[in-house]
Amino acid sequence: MSDVYIWGSYAVTFALLAAEIALLVRRSRRAEEGNRGGP
């Protein structure tokens, strides 16, 4: 039963971190496309 709690913790944590990275990569691409001239 403890496996459910352990995997529930680790899976959600790394899924959230991966989601943050994915969203940032998408935002970064959009920002670059919207502003080709540089910062």
Partner 1 sequence: MKWFWYASPQTFYPLAGTIARGCGFAAALLAAAGLYIGFFVAPTDAQQGEVYRIIFIHVPAAWMSMFIYVVMAFWAALGLALNTRLSAMMAAALAPTGALFTFIALWTGSLWGKPTWGTYWVWDARLTSELILLFLYFGFIALRAAIEDPRRADRAAALLAIVGVVNVPIIYYSVQWWNTLHQGASVSLTRAPSMAKAMLAGMIVMALAFWLYSIAVSLVRVRCMIRESA
For partner 1, the binding residues (CB under 8 A) are: 1-3, 5-6, 8-10, 12-13, 16-17, 20-21, 24, 27-28, 31-32, 34-35, 37-39
Shortest Cβ distance from residue 15 to partner 1 (Å)? 10
CA angle 28, 24, 32 (to 5 degrees): 5
Shortest Cβ distance from residue 30 to partner 1 (Å)? 8
- Rounded CA separation 36/39 (Å): 9
Shortest Cβ distance from residue 5 to partner 1 (Å)? 5
Structure tokens that stand for 26 in this block: 């998408």
Structure tokens that stand for 21 in this block: 């990275």
